[in-house]
Amino acid sequence: MLKQVAKGVYVHKSKFIQSNSVAVQGLTGVLLIDPGITSEEMADLANDLRGLGQQVVAGFSTHPHWDHVLWHAMFGDVPRYGTGRCAASIQDLLSHSDWKARVAGALPPELAGEIPMDLLGLMTGLPAGAAQIPWDGPKVRIIEHQAHAPGHAALLIEEHGVLDAGDMLSDILMPFLDLEAVNPVEDYLAALLLFEGVADEVAAVIPGHGSGCGAEQLRARIKEDRVYVEALRDGGFSEDPRVGPSAPLDWLPDVHRWQLGRLAHRAKNETPQ
């Protein structure tokens, strides 16, 4: 079911890790951001949009992880965009003959048969430094950074003050660093600074997973994520409730320990002997 969060901005929540798809109303239809997750959910989303008298006219993926590059035939054959780095990353995956098997290994087993893969990742990369999404609706500013995944983009729907944060600023997931990057900690902290830089323009935040929040909570989420990332960097204990005994998902403490271990291993190997 679609929930309106601002004038012309709607959110559809999946059962899978509370994944949020965002629809932004334009002159001739909607821009659909990160639609997911199962075929049934996406069909429901398409039907809900039709119930509002809206067709999909464009799509956008905030980053190249499988759950953000999905599509359904009911959305139509329309332009789908991502940043240049995002598109290059997913195109590299699709260039392998066994790409479906590679993606299947990352899917939740209980949903693997319900996730459509035929249209996965078919997007056009925008030019480097592109400032906004090319479509006929309200200006959607692209805030590109390298936290979490290559070419990750947060999107600021300026007219309505809505920030689609992609896979950041979640209340249920702690920061997941891109541990294949050269400077994963620095990349994440730099992205949080970008969010601070637009905080005064934001009235509502929609994370890729979890619950949205208002302007009054945005800075608190930025601070919480910064404290967590700095604790990872320093190899210390984190008091973040998202990774403690009361973690929203029982596998998050394991991910936290894995991130700590990977960063410790990197630091050891990079330290001059």
Q: Give 273's pLDDT tier (boundaries 50, 70, 90).
A: very low
pLDDT at 272 over 70: no
Name the β-bridge partners of 154. Answer: 143
pLDDT of the residue at 196: 97
Tally Cβ neighbours within 10 Å of residue 212.
21
Mean pLDDT over 131-155 rounds to 97
pLDDT of the residue at 1: 85
Closest CA to 145 of 171, 121, 163: 163
pLDDT at 87 over 90: yes
How many independent structural domains does the chain possess?
1
- 249 close to 216: Cβ distance less than 8 angstroms: no
pTM of the model: 0.95
- 151 close to 9: Cβ distance less than 8 angstroms: no
pLDDT in tens, 171-208: 999 999 999 999 999 999 999 999 999 999 999 999 99
pLDDT in tens, 157-166: 999 999 999 9
Side chain identity, residue 73: A
Q: What's the chain's length in residues? A: 273
The boundaries of the domain holding residue 9 are 2-270
pLDDT at 271 over 70: no
Give all strands of the β-sheet with 140-145 in edge-to-edge order: 140-145, 152-157, 162-164, 204-206, 213-214
Residues of the chain with pLDDT > 90, as a percent, come to: 93
Structure token digits, residue 223: 């601070």
Nearest-angstrom CA–CA distance, 194 and 23: 23
CATH code, domain carrying 191: 3.60.15.10
Structure token digits, residue 40: 């049934």
pLDDT at 234 over 60: yes
Structure token digits, residue 186: 């620095």
Task: Give SS3 for 19.
Answer: strand
pLDDT of the residue at 236: 81
